[in-house]
Structure 1
Amino acid sequence: MKFGKEFASQMVPEWREAYMNYNNLKTLLKQILIFHRRQTRLPDNHVNSRPAPPSKAASLKRRVSLFRAFSGLTSRYGNNSPKEDKEDEVILVSAMQQADEEQGEDVQSYQTVFLRSSEEGGDLELVFFRGLDHEFNKVIQFYKSKVEEVVKQADELSQQMDALIALRIKVTNPTAAAAVAAAMSPFINRTNTGSIPLEVIHEDQQPKRTEVAKGYQMASLEVLNHVKVNVAPETPITTMKNVFKSLNPNLHFNKSEVKVAEEKLKQAFIEFHEKLRFLKNYAFLNQLAFSKIMKKYDKITSRNASGAYMKMVEESYLSQSDEVSKLIERVEAVFIKHFCNGNRHQGMDTLRPKAKRDKHRITFFVGCFFGLSLALTVAIIVSVHARDLLKSQGRTQYMNTIFPLYSMFGFLVLHILMYGGNVYFWARYRVNYSFIFGFKPSTELGFKEVLLLGFGLSVLTLAAVLSNLQMELDPQTKSYKTFTELLPLALVIVVILITICPFDIFYRANRFFLLVCLWHCICAPLYAVTLPDFFLADQFTSQVQLLRNLQFYVCYYGWGDFKHRNAETCNNSTVYDVLFIVIAVIPYWIRLLQCIRRWNDGRDSTQALNGLKYFSTIVALVTRTIYSQKGGIAFKVISASTSGFATIFSTYWDLVMDWGLLSRNSENPWLRDKLILPSRSIYFIAMVLNVILRLAWMQTVMDFRELPFLHKNALTAIFASLEIIRRGIWNFFRLENEHLNNVGKFRAVKSVPLPFSYEDGYKNL
């Protein structure tokens, strides 16, 4: 793999704009290469060849230099290094102070003076070094800002650790506070240089009491008088107490508070350590990129400028700063000591989770299940054709009862497959979906795992359909076989049992994550709304027909209609008709409550408008359902007008707010300033498809419910599938926009709420 691709693959996706623009500098070098070819009259197809050397001796000298040991990133140029002849000098690099208008202070920047600008083609090389300086100064400024940020966070975590240690001492053994503190406390340096964040002293390096009195101070219980605890778990009950201001935020000094505080602080350390690793990798990759680009420059121009430039790079803050490395060591030491009982192996496994490996057996089973699905589909078609089931007298009864039962699984399989496609394209275009959704490290499902679940469920469903293609009653018993009639119910029970299975099988971490998000949706607005919560609720708004089919399951099997394959109990029930409307409204009602909660938490007027959008959809859905049940010109006009307003509102919201498109003054006309997909036409195609698929509701208003060759339930299933496809397209662009927002704010790690908050003006020294 070429370095450019390797460099891009190792970047932190949210920091991509802050990395050295290697491709742009490589393009400038290509222009210099083309100029040299024209000067030496080399053919244009010699892309990888370098200009002819001036002499045979110089050629031999450069060829020998290819076999020298690399010393670019770690070597230091001291007084003993050989001095270059000033006549061979190509560049002079100097540091200068410039005023930064945004920060209001002077910042150090580097400028390269190209000494051969008077030569032919020197203007191209001058442009290259200007671009090189711009990239290097950008990298330096970003790295400095991030180092200052992590140092402040380290100081805050140190204060959090002081409060945690004091709380541990208070709860476990208050009478032996001094002894426990000597064994567990992270000592704070009180030298003239100030406190060192996250400084820890190991058991074998404990200072004596006299040394403690001179240079160190142990964490005392006094800090508990100046902190408030934030360890109360967020539940519907605590939310209601907060509404009525009845929740006491003070410490009660019990073990449950210690446990919750430890978990929160442990997660904060994990995220902080990940950020430090990102920052260390950022510095290394950029130094390597500057080394590579300068070697390419030397190769193309036959000059020797990389030594001088890399000397400047190695003497800069990017290479000389060791704050990040020290912080990584201190974080690891504190984490191992205080959260893993000194078990280094356990601590490092937690802080540095192993990369997820691609298992070949998953690929194998995906192929097997896909092949089985195709084979079962062909078998069903052949069976229907051979037995001439389409002309059977029981066809209508089958479509009214059995088809809705199995079509529910078809909707679910289609949604899973669309999500698998989303995951594939998110990974391909480096949309950090794992970070955005908040999955635990190495637990997110790749597209192959998602397809495995989808095709696996598809095989079970198609096998059940094939075994339940009985259209006529048994002439002797005047009923259908109980076993085959219970297959859909058994399939539902199997799916539910797998979803709630407590054992570590079938991707337990993801199932638990899904159940937590589902519970948050059910309890809306009693939980703070996160992106996974409203993202899942949006998926349910596109699965209204699935929820209605689930309602049919309860009625069909609960009242025993399955014995005679008759749905008269459901169709003739007024309660069923009312629940038919309520079930469809529930997903939109959840989204409305979530918008109200987000507006209350952030006072964002945008969320109020978003809630209005879902309210308009609820009104449109109710009027359409009533019209489909009762008919009438009045309901037809009302349903058409409310549906038209809701469709226009929702389409505009999708394109502008969720996708960030339709920007007039954008660099890409009517699109965003930044795009991930290489072709702009894909965005316009997606917008057109979104508008067309949004109009699927018109089939209800225009009485377009049944075709001569297609049953109305089959037509309903087709339109429901189109809505699922629209949601799958929406998913990609919605998360792409979220990813670009994170990129714009350089958010690469999760923000974890800390367990303790200090009083204003109090500093633990």
Structure 2
Amino acid sequence: MKFGKEFAAQMVPEWQEAYMDYGKLKTLLKDILRFKQRNRPPTTPASLKRKLTLYRAFSGLTQRYNHYPTSPSTTRDDDHDIESQAILVNSVNRDGLQSYHTTFLMSSDEGGEYELVYFRRLDDEFNKVEKFYRSKVEEVMKEADMLNKQMDAFIAFRIKVENPQGWFDRSVEMTRLASDVAASAAALSASTPRGARASGRLVMSMDVIEEGVSNSHGQSDESSDQEKDEEETIDVVNQKVQERGPNNIRASRPAPLEVLNRVKINNTLETPRSTIKSFLHYPMQTELNFSRKNLRKVEEQLKRAVIEFYQKLRLLKSFSFLNTLAFSKIMKKYDKITSRDASKSYMKMVDSSFLGSSDEVTKLMERTEAAFIKHFSNSNRTKGMNNLRPTAKRERHRTTFSMGFFAGCTAALILALILIIRARNIMRQEGATEYMENIFPLYSLFGFIVLHMLMYAANIYFWRRYRVNYSFIFGFKQGTELGHRQVLLLGFGLAALALASVLSNLDMQMDPKTKDYKAFTELLPLNLVLLVVIILFFPFNILYRSSRFFFLTRLFHCICAPLYKVTLPDFFLADQFTSQVQALRSLEFYICYYGWGDYKHRQNTCKDSGVFKTFCFIVAVIPYLSRLLQCLRRLYEEKDAMQGYNGLKYFLTIVAVSMRTAYGLNKGLGWKTLAWIFSSIAAIFSTYWDLVFDWGLLQRQSKNRWLRDKLLVPHKSVYFGAMVLNVVLRFAWFQTVLGLQVSFLHRESLITIVASLEIIRRGIWNFFRLENEHLNNVGKYRAFKSVPLPFNYDDNEDKDD
């Protein structure tokens, strides 16, 4: 793989604009190369060219290109001979900010203007990278101080809970542990020579590339030598701290008891109980309660915060070394094209800059590893590093094979079903109407689920292809997110089971020997539903347990919408259910058909029940009501008026769905008129919201007219096609109001097709919704999740510090 592609593949997606624009600089080098090729002097005969080359080599004319001079004096002469240099790099201060400017000394040469443009762009890129890196390092240093205070309180809290009698005896030890940051910083600075750090940076730059490549293939391992070196470093740090003794510990650190007097529990509104208390203005419990339950809660919160902080450090380290390597690569290309020796001077500047010489991130990583292993992994290094550096999911051949096997089974079963229906002329036989009205709605549920899973698998495939960081947006734990192959495996597996059940049902219905066992044949779809539910709640670690539990957790948040803090996975899942109204109605039919005992006689008395009709209204509006309550919760918390308008959209949709449901059950001109009016208003409002706010399109002043400034898909026609398709599929509800009938389709089949079109529309919406969210993260350089911390320090005390 070429470095340019490898470089792009290992970028932090949300920081891609902060990286060096390798492609642009490479384009400028191609301009220089084309100019030199156009103005190349006439070629000389091969024999003459070889003689000239030998003459230059033995006469010493090419000595300045030799990287291994024969004496130190030669090196000094070359370094100070400005006539032999192509560039001169200076550090300048602009508005109090340090930047670098390269002076091209050969601008008078033929084609020098091309090289001048190249170095101007090179300086701009380096200053951009260095400024971004400096700002991020300052951020993590501030966060390190904050986490250090949290660790002070956590260590004191743990000692108070686990060993209250030995509290005062262990105070000195705790103070020493809390001083790790300053002590280890001094120890590392004293024990690590500058040359070793520079050579270490070169090694780490190679490690970054290898780590990124292995992650792309789902592998990430640490060598035993690296672990040994890190352990030796930690031992050196601990030795330095011990040599300092307790008298040299930083005096500004408070005593352990004083730490606990200055902190309070940070109560976040993340549970129904805390939300209700906040809404009723009930005073929250902020005093410290020294119990093991609270200790586990504090430890889990702080553990998540430290892991997230460590991921920031890893990304910053990768950012630094990838960019350093990119500047080295591009300068080597420049030297090769121009036959100059400018890379040495430029890379000397890069190595001495903050980007190349700063080792704060490396020190912080070492201290974070040591602290995490000691306090959160019971000094088990392997366990601690597995938490800090989770391995990416490996793509397994058996997954691909199983997915293909079930896909083939699904295709074969569909073909067999079509042939049986045609050969036996089932749709014209006696009882076909009862079958379509009773059995077809039962099995259509699986069709809706499978179609949605196939659309989600397609979403994942295209999100990965266009580098949309969907796992970060959804908050998946690294290494547990499902790929498109895993989702396709589940979808085709469920489809094969459902189709096999349909064929079994038809076979037992047509076979005279089993025809009398109607009750048993009717139970097949119910058994399949129960199997799916059992798998979904299965507690053992098989069949993607983490993903199943993640889904169930978000589903519970949707059900208890206003009582939980709304996150993107919550409202994204609720939006998915707004496109599965017909599937929810199928579940309602399951309860009625089997609960009332209609399955024994294959009769459908549900539509004659007033309770069933009432629940038809309730079931249809539940997903929209959940989204409305989520919008109201965000409006209450964020005071954002846009959430109010979004809630109004869902309220209008609730009214429209209710009117259409009432018209479907009661008919009548009045219901039809109301259904038309409210459905039209809701559809227009929702379509406009989809295109403008959810997708970020229809921007008149954009450089991509009627789209947006940044597009991940290179073909603009895709966006216009998606907009048109979204409008057409959004108005598929016309069929329910107009009462359109197709002669060769049963009414239930037509309803299923319309519901499937809505699922397809939702799948298209999903891709562009997450694309827009990803671009918002890119614009704000948002690559991390904010993790709530367990303790709050007294502000007045902090000011005194």
TM-score normalised by L of structure 2: 0.88
Which segment drifts farther, 435-444 or 352-361? 352-361
**Other-structure match for 1:727:** 762
**Other-structure match for 1:56:** 53
TM-fit CA distance, 1:632 = 1.4
Q: 2:157 aligns with which of 157, 161, 167?
A: 167
CA distance in 1, matches of 2:502, 2:136: 58
Contact 1:190 1:215 in 2 (8 A): no
| Structure 2 residue matching 1:178: 3-state secondary structure | coil
Unpaired segments ≥5 residues, structure 2: 44-48, 189-232
More helix by share: 2
TM-fit CA distance, 1:236 = 1.6
Q: CA-to-partner distance for each residue in 1:265-296, whole Å, 9 max, x for gaps? A: 00000000000000001000000000111111
Which segment drifts farther, 221-230 or 536-545? 221-230
Any residues of structure 2 matched to 1:59-98 within 5 Å, and which? Answer: 83=79, 85-98=81-94
TM-fit CA distance, 1:22 = 0.2
CA distance in 1, matches of 2:262, 2:254: 17
State whether structure 2 residue 395 is matched by structure 1 residue 405.
no
Contact 1:416 1:450 in 2 (8 A): yes
CA distance in 2, matches of 1:523, 1:399: 36
**Other-structure match for 1:435:** 472
TM-fit CA distance, 1:631 = 1.3
Paired amino acid for 1:25: L
**Other-structure match for 2:217:** none
Structure 1 residues 89 and 200, CA, compared in 2 at 3 Å: closer, same or farther? closer
Any residues of structure 2 matched to 1:122-271 within 5 Å, and which? Answer: 122-185=112-175, 186-188=177-179, 207=242, 211-212=246-247, 215=250, 217=253, 219-230=255-266, 234-246=270-282, 247-271=284-308
CA distance in 2, matches of 1:81, 1:733: 60
| Structure 2 residue matching 1:116: 3-state secondary structure | coil
Structure 1 residues 214 and 115, CA, compared in 2 at 3 Å: closer, same or farther? closer
Contact 1:93 1:111 in 2 (8 A): yes
**Other-structure match for 2:783:** 748
CA distance in 2, matches of 1:610, 1:27: 45
Any residues of structure 2 matched to 1:625-664 within 5 Å, and which? Answer: 625-664=661-700
**Other-structure match for 1:610:** 646
CA distance in 2, matches of 1:703, 1:656: 31
Query: Between Structure 1 and Structure 2, how many residues are aligned?
Result: 740
| Structure 2 residue matching 1:762: 3-state secondary structure | helix
**Other-structure match for 2:527:** 490
TM-fit CA distance, 1:57 = 4.5
State whether structure 2 residue 355 is matched by structure 1 residue 318.
yes
Paired amino acid for 2:759: I
Structure 1 residues 608 and 305, CA, compared in 2 at 3 Å: closer, same or farther? same
Q: 2:620 aligns with which of 584, 588, 592?
A: 584
TM-fit CA distance, 1:237 = 2.2
Q: CA-to-partner distance for each residue in 1:503-528, whole Å, 9 max, x for gaps? A: 00000000010010011111110000
Q: 1:107 aligns with which of 88, 97, 107?
A: 97
| Structure 1 residue matching 2:88: 3-state secondary structure | strand
Which segment drifts farther, 133-142 or 735-744? 735-744
**Other-structure match for 1:713:** 748
CA distance in 1, matches of 2:51, 2:674: 85
TM-fit CA distance, 1:204 = 6.5
State whether structure 2 residue 364 is matched by structure 1 residue 327.
yes
| Structure 1 residue matching 2:169: 3-state secondary structure | helix
Which segment drifts farther, 240-249 or 175-184? 175-184
| Structure 2 residue matching 1:120: 3-state secondary structure | coil
**Other-structure match for 1:47:** none
CA distance in 1, matches of 2:52, 2:680: 78
State whether structure 2 residue 19 is matched by structure 1 residue 19.
yes
| Structure 2 residue matching 1:176: 3-state secondary structure | coil
TM-fit CA distance, 1:37 = 1.1
Structure 1 residues 60 and 620, CA, compared in 2 at 3 Å: closer, same or farther? farther
**Other-structure match for 1:571:** 607
Contact 1:14 1:743 in 2 (8 A): yes
**Other-structure match for 2:714:** 678
CA distance in 1, matches of 2:513, 2:378: 73
| Structure 2 residue matching 1:112: 3-state secondary structure | strand
CA distance in 2, matches of 1:129, 1:194: 37
Q: CA-to-partner distance for each residue in 1:473-524, whole Å, 9 max, x for gaps? A: 8889985533321110000000000000000000000001001001111111
Paired amino acid for 1:487: L
Contact 1:187 1:200 in 2 (8 A): no
TM-fit CA distance, 1:117 = 1.2
| Structure 1 residue matching 2:102: 3-state secondary structure | strand
**Other-structure match for 1:384:** 421
TM-fit CA distance, 1:189 = 7.5
TM-fit CA distance, 1:242 = 2.1
Q: CA-to-partner distance for each residue in 1:67-109, whole Å, 9 max, x for gaps? A: 9999xxxxxx99879536433211111010001xxxxxx1011
Paired amino acid for 2:416: A
Contact 1:647 1:694 in 2 (8 A): yes
CA distance in 2, matches of 1:399, 1:471: 16
TM-fit CA distance, 1:233 = 7.8
State whether structure 2 residue 340 is matched by structure 1 residue 343.
no
CA distance in 2, matches of 1:54, 1:289: 37
CA distance in 1, matches of 2:187, 2:276: 41
CA distance in 2, matches of 1:59, 1:3: 34
Paired amino acid for 2:154: L
State whether structure 2 residue 280 is matched by structure 1 residue 284.
no
TM-score normalised by L of structure 1: 0.92
| Structure 1 residue matching 2:427: 3-state secondary structure | helix
**Other-structure match for 1:665:** 701
What is the identity percentage for the equivalent residue pairs of Structure 1 and Structure 2? 57
Paired amino acid for 1:333: A
